[in-house]
Chain A
């Protein structure tokens, strides 16, 4: 049964990653791209979780936590950067 679940989730997650990558390539603004790359990180984390659940090990758990740290720092930094760049023309 686990092989079937693995195949089904692999197809679903591949479609989801393709959608997120299309939004990263096409997104009209920088913030859309940040949001889509955050979703891509969540999809990679989901793939790591499914690997751990199907093969019954815990090797990827630290990688999962590190992924969420990277997503947090990345989106917060880029959001600050966008706000700063747009506010400067108003100030000067």
Chain B
């Protein structure tokens, strides 16, 4: 083992303690963002912090506390699973929120979805019109 195991233990313990407290603060930041932000999209911005960075810090602190190497791949799999599922659910929630007008439009700096939605609506109305004109 390298120089003194006791010193190394204290260093690893302190690093994992800092990771745990910062990871818990991510959850507190998300809750404050949920309470204080004005609309759904900005609340979604706050809500992703404990799901990705907070979970990463806490899983790293588990790995540091257990002091074994074989546990790191398991923790990495858990984190990657969270990384794969969180964007999908955030996409679905954000899309539903946009479609149901749960946003403050004056707070957006740019809206790249509006052109797509209007084009789809125009296409749908054109198809409706051609359907109505055709005799059954």
Contacts and interface: CB of A to CB of B under 8 A. Distances in A.
Interface of A: 1-2, 5, 8-9, 12-13, 15-20, 22-23, 29, 31-32, 34-36, 38-39, 42-43, 45-46, 49-50, 52-54, 56, 58, 61, 64-65, 68-69, 71-72, 75-76, 79-80, 82-83, 86-87
B82 A68 contact: yes
B34 A35 contact: yes
- Interface SS of chain A: helix
Given A58-B66, A75-B93, A36 B100 contact: no
Contacts of B17: 1-2, 5
B96 A54 contact: no
Given A46-B58, A56-B66, A82-B96, A72 B89 contact: yes
